[in-house]
């Protein structure tokens, strides 16, 4: 996809790279993918703007699920049952690409653009 600003293209590339790494099982804790699946996420169809390594085996971040829900999570792989997994889709405000004050350089916004683009192509 082409953008008018290099910063927007950089955000697209970052989302694309992070998503491909997760889908291919690269640079991610193997049990994190299993935890995503336990939460109902299909990593092969979800979009990952980034996965934050908070501490050894502790991850936090945001993802766009296979049904375009935006999820924030925080999980310690030593206690995955205590992890947080919250749907924040209804609270997106300017992170939603259709919002008049959106910022395409924001990785959450770009994740939704990435999701929409790939699902339009598949339709």
Please report the pLDDT score of residue 38 as a whole number: 95
Please report the pLDDT score of residue 27 as a whole number: 64
Cα–Cα distance measured from residue 43 to residue 72, given in angstroms and rounded to the nearest whole number: 15
> Which residues, given as ranges, of the chain have pLDDT below 50?
none
**Helix, strand counts (H, E) of the chain:** 3, 4
Please report the pLDDT score of residue 28 as a whole number: 76
Task: Kindly report the number of other CB atoms within 10 A of residue 19's CB atom.
Answer: 22
Please report the pLDDT score of residue 75 as a whole number: 95
């Amino acid at each position: 996809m082409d953008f008018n600003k290099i910063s927007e293209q950089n955000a697209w590339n970052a989302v694309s790279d992070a998503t491909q790494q997760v889908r291919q099982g690269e640079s991610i804790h193997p049990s994190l993918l299993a935890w995503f699946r336990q939460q109902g996420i299909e990593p092969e169809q979800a979009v990952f703007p980034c996965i934050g390594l908070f501490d050894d085996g502790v991850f936090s971040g945001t993802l766009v699920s296979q049904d375009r829900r935006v999820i924030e999570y925080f999980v310690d792989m030593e206690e995955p049952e205590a992890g947080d997994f919250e749907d924040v889709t209804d609270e997106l405000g300017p992170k939603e690409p259709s919002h008049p004050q959106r910022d395409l350089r924001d990785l959450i916004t770009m994740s939704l653009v990435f999701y929409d683009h790939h699902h339009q192509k598949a339709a």
